[in-house]
Structure 1
Amino acid sequence: MATAEEFGAFFGYAGMVMTFVYFLSPLPTCINVHKSKDVQEFSVFPPLSCEVFFLYSQLMFARFFQVQQYAVGVVNCSLWVYWAIVTMQISSDNLTPNLLINGIGLFQFVAYVSIFMVYAKSRTREFLRLIMALLLFEVILILSFEGIVPRFGDGKLKSRVSGLVTDVLNILLYGSPLIVMRKVIRTKSVKYMPLPMSVLTLVICILWSTQAIFISNMTVLVPNAVGTLLGVAQLILYARRAPSLAQIAQDGHDATFNQEPPSEQQHNYMRTADPPAAAKTRTRVPRCSVPLSDARVSAVLLHLRSSKSCHWAMDQTL
């Protein structure tokens, strides 16, 4: 029978694979920036977001190039790598999956930041100020862990303090998902909260939380447990705000038939239109995906036959 450590390793590596897939989500945006050779309208300072194990942003598929996420990701992954190395030196916890995924994430975020750095052009100075501020923050933290904390205890205290700081940073970075949920509630639309990313986020949080339970590590458990609760809340919100198929069909029905009739000026224009001249440009007749009753079909045909040009166009297309 498998031991708790083996179960922890299994869920840890499963979480590592799923998180790696999630870390690839900025690639489409970066590819578009590389093809256009310019960041164009992409923002340097969007809403703050970026978690290490999970939920570093639901806005990765938004139209803005959120370089702040990637820069914060570099700092966040660095702190998790530091914590994993320190903890593995003073305990028997198998944190290899955690160390590997954050090392990979650190490399990926550096690559994303480099892409922006190349194509930032006039905003390079603004971007450099952001990078320098974040790097200074990280250097101060690590120097504090290495120089100040050991004076008050051993390596276990350094592991606990660095883990606490990293957890607090992760929890504070839940601003972006909460902003998205608030926007969904206000607009009553789920277009800002894609379902696949919400489901993937929840799966990743559950995997890391399960690993933390088996290896009895509170540093990993706390932020991922919070992320699990937030993921469940997002799915509940999505289920409440997502439109049903019947509503989608009704919206299309209303958009097709609840239109104002043409004005007298439009009727006169259609009556005087020259059919041979109109034949030079082929008009694409829109198709309706909503089932039509016989009465509605008759009404549409009667409306089309109200003018000669429309009658002629219908003979050409039907």
Structure 2
Amino acid sequence: MAGLSLQHPWAFAFGLLGNVISFMTFLAPIPTFYRIYKTKSTEGFQSVPYVVALFSAMLWIFYALIKTGEGFLITINAAGCVIESIYIIMYFVYAPKKGKLFTAKIMALLNVGVFGFILLTTLLLFKGDKRVVMLGWICVGFSVSVFVAPLSIIKRVIQTRSVEYMPFSLSLSLTLSAIVWFLYGLLIKDKYVALPNVLGFTFGIVQMGLYMFYMNKTPLIAEGKEASKLPATKEEHVVVNVTKLSPALPEKSCEVHPVTEMSIPRKSCAADAAPANRDAFVTHGPGVTVV
């Protein structure tokens, strides 16, 4: 096919460049997983993006094999399957039991159930060019849904006025990748490769524009309802902790006080100081988890 043939040098060049850029994009989460390895904890990170990326790579490999001659699609997505599988294995090693169970369910549903259904349906119900067309549109539909996913990140950036969750380097690499694969699909006349990358390029430009706009803005500490609930939550923890510890206090120091007075630890009672320290840890816990 045109992609691997030196008779079509531009298609070959863009296919090779697309492999390089996409490979670097696959390696982008390495700092995240190095952090997971060092802390021995997933710290609230989700496995869904990596499971979805693995499914996408599997789907494109299947499409490339059915169409035949799409060597560049096979090489980069084979590398993607290996890299994403390593990420998922690391997640299984360090995730809590609930996270492991959820990841196993998602993989069973998506990577086994949905992929198996697509494989059997296209092989049994379609033949020849119709099979390629059907599988091509499935790949387009799924790729579009993946490219729409950053809408949640874009919304979060606007609400928090912070670009912490949208690194510029990642947005740039995804944009360049979309441009290169669009040109590759255009040159080999494969609309199923070209079409979804138009949307990828558009969202990439939007993300980089938002980054430039909000990079110097002052982030909001908390958003919406969370900001209004924060003080109440802290006071609630203090009251509960003091109530649980009060029977253990010496009888002479256990006077009955209104709740408003007990919400402030007394310097003269060492037992009351312990809940205050614990509250500081609980209050900061969700911040560490989110990061």
What is the match of residue 120 of structure 2? 143
Deviations 1:24-59 (A, max 9, x none): 0121222222233333x32xxxxxxxxxxxxxxxxx
- For these two proteins, the number of residue pairs brought into alignment is 213
TM-fit CA distance, 1:203: 1.0
What is the match of residue 48 of structure 2? 68
What is the match of residue 267 of structure 1? none
In the alignment, is residue 170 of structure 1 matched against residue 143 of structure 2? Answer: yes
Q: Describe how 1:222-301 pairs up with structure 2 within 5 A.
A: 222-243=195-216
Q: Describe how 1:80-99 pairs up with structure 2 within 5 A.
A: 80-88=60-68, 95-99=70-74
Between the aligned partners of 1:71 and 1:183, the Cα distance in structure 2 is 22
Amino acid at match of 2:141: V
TM-fit CA distance, 1:11: 0.5
Deviations 1:72-100 (A, max 9, x none): 12211111000011112xxxxx5211110
* Structure 1 residues 183 and 9, CA gap change in structure 2 (3 angstroms): same
Greater helix fraction, Structure 1 or Structure 2: 2
Q: Is the 8 A contact 2:28 2:170 kept in 1?
A: no
Amino acid at match of 1:185: I
Structure 2 residues without counterparts, runs of 5 or longer: 219-291
* Structure 1 residues 36 and 188, CA gap change in structure 2 (3 angstroms): closer
* Structure 1 residues 122 and 158, CA gap change in structure 2 (3 angstroms): same
Show structure 1 runs of 4+ deviating over 4 A.
none
In the alignment, is residue 192 of structure 1 matched against residue 165 of structure 2? Answer: yes
* Structure 1 residues 224 and 189, CA gap change in structure 2 (3 angstroms): same
Between the aligned partners of 2:13 and 2:209, the Cα distance in structure 1 is 29
* Structure 1 residues 120 and 237, CA gap change in structure 2 (3 angstroms): closer
Between the aligned partners of 1:101 and 1:195, the Cα distance in structure 2 is 23
TM-fit CA distance, 1:105: 0.1
What is the match of residue 281 of structure 2? none
In the alignment, is residue 160 of structure 1 matched against residue 133 of structure 2? Answer: yes
Amino acid at match of 2:32: T
What is the match of residue 269 of structure 1? none
TM-score by length of 1: 0.62
TM-fit CA distance, 1:106: 0.7
TM-fit CA distance, 1:132: 1.1
What is the match of residue 265 of structure 1? none
Between the aligned partners of 1:126 and 1:235, the Cα distance in structure 2 is 32
What is the match of residue 110 of structure 1? 85
Amino acid at match of 1:19: S
Query: 1:78 aligned to 47, 58, 68, which one?
Result: 58
Q: What is the percent sequence identity of the aligned residues?
A: 25
What is the match of residue 130 of structure 1? 106
Structure 1 residues without counterparts, runs of 5 or longer: 43-63, 89-93, 248-318
* Structure 1 residues 185 and 119, CA gap change in structure 2 (3 angstroms): closer
TM-fit CA distance, 1:239: 2.9
Amino acid at match of 1:209: F
Quick check: 97-106 or 67-76, which moved more?
67-76
In the alignment, is residue 9 of structure 1 matched against residue 9 of structure 2? Answer: no
Between the aligned partners of 1:182 and 1:126, the Cα distance in structure 2 is 25
Higher radius of gyration, 1 or 2 = 1
Query: 1:218 aligned to 188, 191, 211, which one?
Result: 191
Q: Describe how 1:37-56 pairs up with structure 2 within 5 A.
A: 37-39=40-42, 41-42=43-44
